[in-house]
Amino acid sequence: MPAPSPAEVCLFGGFRLDRRIGVLFRRDEHGVFAPLVMGSRALDILRVLLERPGELVSRAEIISAVWSATAVEESNLDVQIAALRRVLHAGRTGGSYIQTIRGRGYRFTAPVARVASEARVHGPASRMISAPPLPDMPSLAVMPFQNMSGDPEQEYFADGVVEEIITALSRIRWLVVIARNSSFTYKGQAIDVQRVGRELGVRYILEGAVRKAGGRVRISAQLIDATTGAHLWADRFDGLLQNIFELQDQVAASVAGAIEPTLEVAETRRLADRPTSDLTALDFYLRALPDLDAFTKESLLRALDLLGQAIERDPHYGPALALAAHCYAGLEVNRWAEDPDAARRTSIDLARRALRSAPDDPNVLAIAAAMLGYLGEDIDVSLALIDRCLTLNPSHARGWHWSALLRVFAGQPDVAIEHFQNYLQLCPRDRMATYLNVIGEAYFFSRRLDEAVANLLPRSTWRQHSR
């Protein structure tokens, strides 16, 4: 693997372009860089201009670099330059960053600083995706907690506790939280926090353990600065099993407070809304999660049995309804259902019930949007639902993935590529074939055929769309 170019991260004005992940960020009024949605052609043009700031770049050079061998009318360049200016100049009162030299080309007028990038991920996937840089806002990965119960059958409970903590933390707007699918790839390994921090692109690592004995639960956790290995905070939370939600919220609030001492208590209270108060329903739901991950016909049927018992105890348990919709869709898509039409109708019905029960739950919104869109319902409704999910939880990695999928369905391949890159930044170790196919399909429909070929892998079953 060749050494990364020092030009892979470019800073200018209030913007940051990370060329490795193909995302442009703008600094907001709080000094935090937020990703921008823009077309891939406009982004490619920006890359070309940033390579030669202050110099005249001819129209022919830009067209050759951006469209390669594809025949294209020059008017397409005008359209993309206009789109790029709309993004760069939104809210700007000064002159243009892009100067037009009539009849000749364009000159990028802002000073450009180049920042060296960090190490790349090692392994088979490294040929395509780089290890993410540290975001400009606080970033965290929650490692799998150890099951200290002495009973391997309680592993699902420890994993469920971690998932709930990740969910609570990821809804804090100023905190970037890496998806469970990436952090759980380290399950069962001895953790080198500095290596994990580099590979996941995070500043903080949360480790811990869960002990469940009888009617009591103990959660131990420690927060580590992944850049230095220094321990920042550690605590232990003891309580009754019936108070597990409160214990999980205490962990999330304490971690957030250790990272940002000025965090308002009201924010963590707002994030503490729980989808059910029935602990038995929660237990059935947590037991179903490993079966959903396995995503075979038999495991989906087992998951549906457990989710059915959860829904029977709490008919308004939004996450359980959404997960059941996912299972039925999986049976239909993989031709495992005895009656595919009935499975499709049931999935759609459950997705709608989940939305009625939990209209502001990001995970419910994401699953419902994906199921309704995938099964051929109104695509505009699905897009609105996934946009609502990402507004409520900007760290919802699977939400970004499903948004990319829905954008392909909606004929918006450039937006799909942007959203898929956001997904990869939040879930950098997820390299499953069907996920990478989404960006390959987006590149294909965007007529970026070389990139499509590089990403389209042999398609496996739909199991990789789980959760």
Sheet holding 113-115, edge to edge: 33-35, 23-27, 15-18, 9-12, 113-115
For residue 370, give both structure tokens. 């994906």
Nearest to 388 by CA among 372, 375, 369: 369
d(CA 97, CA 109): 5
Do residues 395 and 176 touch, judged by C-beta distance below 8 A? Answer: yes
DSSP designation for 65: H
DSSP designation for 4: P
Q: What is the CA radius of gyration of the chain?
A: 23
d(CA 22, CA 417): 9
d(CA 55, CA 107): 6
Q: Outline where 171-229 has alpha helix (H).
A: 180-183, 193-200
For residue 178, give both structure tokens. 């890496």
Q: Which residues contact 400 (CB under 8 A, 6 or more apart)?
A: 390, 419, 420, 422, 423, 426
For residue 6, give both structure tokens. 């020092």
For residue 384, give both structure tokens. 């609105």
Give me the pLDDT at residue 182, please: 84
Dihedral angle sign, alpha carbons of residues 195, 199, 203, 208: negative
Angle at 111 between CA 68 and CA 414, to 5 degrees: 35
Instruction: Please give the backbone phi and psi of residue 355, each rounded to the nearest 5 degrees, phi first.
Output: -65, -40
Confirm whether pTM is higher than 0.85. Answer: no
Give me the pLDDT at residue 406, please: 93
d(CA 34, CA 148): 39
For residue 180, give both structure tokens. 């469970």
Domains of the chain by range and CATH? 6-115 (1.10.10.10), 132-270 (3.40.50.10610), 279-465 (1.25.40.10)
**For 202-258, how does the pLDDT look when each residue is reduced to its tens digit (9 = 90+)?**
888 999 999 988 889 999 989 888 888 888 888 888 888 888 878 887 887 778 777
Give me the pLDDT at residue 244, please: 84
Look at residue 201 and give its three-state secondary structure: coil
Neighbours of 249 (CB within 10 A): 21
SS (H, E, C) 107-163: EECCCCEEECCCCCCCCHHHHCCCCCCCCCCCEEEECCCEECCCCHHHHHHHHHHHH
**How many helices (H) and strands (E) in the chain?**
18, 14
Residues of the chain with pLDDT under 50: 1-7, 117-131, 262-272, 433, 458-467
310: left (phi over 0), alpha (psi -120 to 50) or beta: alpha
Q: Which residues contact 430 (CB under 8 A, 6 or more apart)?
A: 179, 181, 182, 397, 423, 424
Sheet holding 98-101, edge to edge: 56-58, 105-108, 98-101
Nearest to 299 by CA among 269, 330, 258, 345: 330
Neighbours of 100 (CB within 10 A): 13
Residue the block writes with tokens 């110099």: 55
